[in-house]
Amino acid sequence: MTDSIKEPLVNPADIAVAVVGLGLMGCSITTCLLMAGHPVIAVAPIPGDMLTACPRIREHLKKSFEEGLTDKTPEDLLKRLHITENYEDISHCTLVIECTIEDISIKKTVYAKIEAVVSNQTVITSNTSAIPISILQRETGVPERFLGLHWAEPSHTTRFLEIICGDLSGATHAEWLYQLSHNWNKEPTLVRKDIRGFITNRLMYAMYREAFYLVENGFATIEDIDRACRNNPGYWMTLVGVFRWMDLTGVPAYHTVMKELFPTLNNEMEVPKLIDDIVKSGGKGIANAKGFYDYTPEEALMWRETFEEFGFEIRKLALKYPADVVQRKLEEKKKEEEL
Ligand X SMILES: NC(=O)c1ccc[n+]([C@@H]2O[C@H](COP(=O)([O-])OP(=O)(O)OC[C@H]3O[C@@H](n4cnc5c(N)ncnc54)[C@H](O)[C@@H]3O)[C@@H](O)[C@H]2O)c1
Binding site for ligand X (CB under 6 A): 21-26, 45-46, 49, 99-102, 106, 110, 127-129, 151, 153
Q: What's the min distance (Å) between Cβ of 103 and ligand X?
A: 8
Tell me which amino acid residue 299 is.
Answer: E
Burial class of 273 by CB neighbour count within 10 A (0 to 12, 13 to 18, 19+): exposed
Q: What's the min distance (Å) between Cβ of 48 and ligand X?
A: 7
3-state helix, strand, coil in the chain (%, to 5): 55, 10, 35
Instruction: Name which of 106 and 279 has its Cβ closer to ligand X.
Output: 106
Instruction: Name which of 63 and 215 has its Cβ closer to ligand X.
Output: 63
| 228-233 long-range contacts, CB within 8 A, separation 24+ | none
Q: What's the min distance (Å) between Cβ of 154 and ligand X?
A: 9
Report the distance separating Cα 13 and Cα 237, nearest Å. 34
Q: What's the min distance (Å) between Cβ of 97 and ligand X?
A: 10
Instruction: Name which of 52 and 172 has its Cβ closer to ligand X.
Output: 52
Q: What's the min distance (Å) between Cβ of 169 and ligand X?
A: 18
Q: What's the min distance (Å) between Cβ of 100 and ligand X?
A: 4
Burial readout 10-27 (b: 16 or more C-beta within 10 A, e: otherwise): eebeebbbbbbbbbebbb
Q: What's the min distance (Å) between Cβ of 84 and ligand X?
A: 12
The residue of the chain with the least Cβ separation from ligand X equals 23
Concatenated DSSP letters for 294-322? B--HHHHHHHHHHHHHHHHHHHHHHHHS-
Tell me which amino acid residue 41 is.
Answer: I
Instruction: Name which of 66 and 102 has its Cβ closer to ligand X.
Output: 102
Instruction: Name which of 56 and 215 has its Cβ closer to ligand X.
Output: 56
Instruction: Name which of 153 and 210 has its Cβ closer to ligand X.
Output: 153
Phi, psi dihedral angles at 270 (to 5 degrees): -85, 155
Instruction: Name which of 204 and 302 has its Cβ closer to ligand X.
Output: 204
Q: Alpha helix locations (H) across the chain?
A: 24-36, 47-66, 74-78, 104-115, 133-137, 171-180, 200-216, 222-231, 233-236, 242-249, 251-261, 273-280, 297-320, 325-338
